[in-house]
A = this chain, B = another copy of it.
């Protein structure tokens, strides 16, 4: 059997045919054009499914199911997408609409959960009985996988690592709460720390790299400057790592998974970031003599969206 995975993003719809072992056999994509009615977007998703099945040279009978990863909150039972800010979707009957085009089983989940599942099926956490993935991008996403299945929580609220409170009464968050992990461990947070640093120390390497323009500072410029040893960049980077290490330690103290996987744009800092975290974590952890969750980088990159969505049906 093969599995169709659809990675529905605010910019692109990527669709793939995925093998039992989580390899992409064929792939296609189209623009989301998010401002359209949802019916049009879903029609394009269905067209991509047809196209990619043909491209992979498989028969319809060989297709087990279709999985869809969405950038928002969905209920897999009802098949309704409650909310997708990027797409402007509220209460969209995604499964019902897709079933106008296909009679295959359709599975829907959040993109961060889907990425965690992908890593556990075909990435760095293969074979782990429990894993937690933290996606460090513009925001912070999370996904928990137990015995090969996403743990959605009892009410679909699970894995929202980005909206755990890290700093009581801290920086206001888009979710309406204050001091969320997302406000301290995302690319957006790193950039905020960096801009704050510029008000005190404007002669720093990352502002120079950004051509002196505060608005051109991004996570990569700051981390590159830290790698080069710039004192300001190191202060900013170390603050970021301090918060991220606390978040990882909180997941360890509460849930203690076999592995914690870091993905998303900021994790492209790679081994440099892993080394920083692995140095800090033992100081935070209780029970110094016990083993602790491995902290590793995600392996699958952009492909995780298709692979994980496909594996929802496995």
Residues of B within 8 A of A177 (CB): 249, 283-284, 286
Chain B residues contacting A249 (CB-CB under 8 Å) are 164-165, 177
A100 within 8 A of B: no
Do A291 and B155 touch (CB < 8 A)? yes
By size class, the interface of chain A is 35 or more
Write the A254-297 contact mask toward B (1 if CB under 8 angstroms, else 0).
Answer: 11111000000000000000000000000111110111110000
CB-based contact A164/B254 at 8 Å: yes
A residues touching B (Cβ–Cβ < 8 Å)? 73, 82-83, 129-130, 142, 144, 146, 151-161, 163-168, 175-177, 242-243, 246, 249-258, 283-287, 289-293
Chain B residue with Cβ nearest A258: B154
Out of B154, B156, B159, B167, name the residue touching A129 (CB < 8 Å).
B154
Copy number in the complex reads 2
What is the distance, in angstroms, from A71's C-beta to the closest C-beta of chain B? Answer: 15
Main SS class of interface, A? loop
| A255 & B253 in contact (Cβ 8 Å cutoff) | no
Closest chain B CB from A105 CB (angstroms): 23
Can you list 20 A-B pairs, Cβ within 8 angstroms, ordered by A? A82-B287, A82-B289, A82-B290, A151-B255, A152-B256, A153-B255, A153-B256, A154-B256, A156-B256, A157-B252, A157-B286, A158-B255, A159-B254, A164-B249, A165-B249, A166-B168, A167-B167, A177-B249, A250-B250, A251-B254
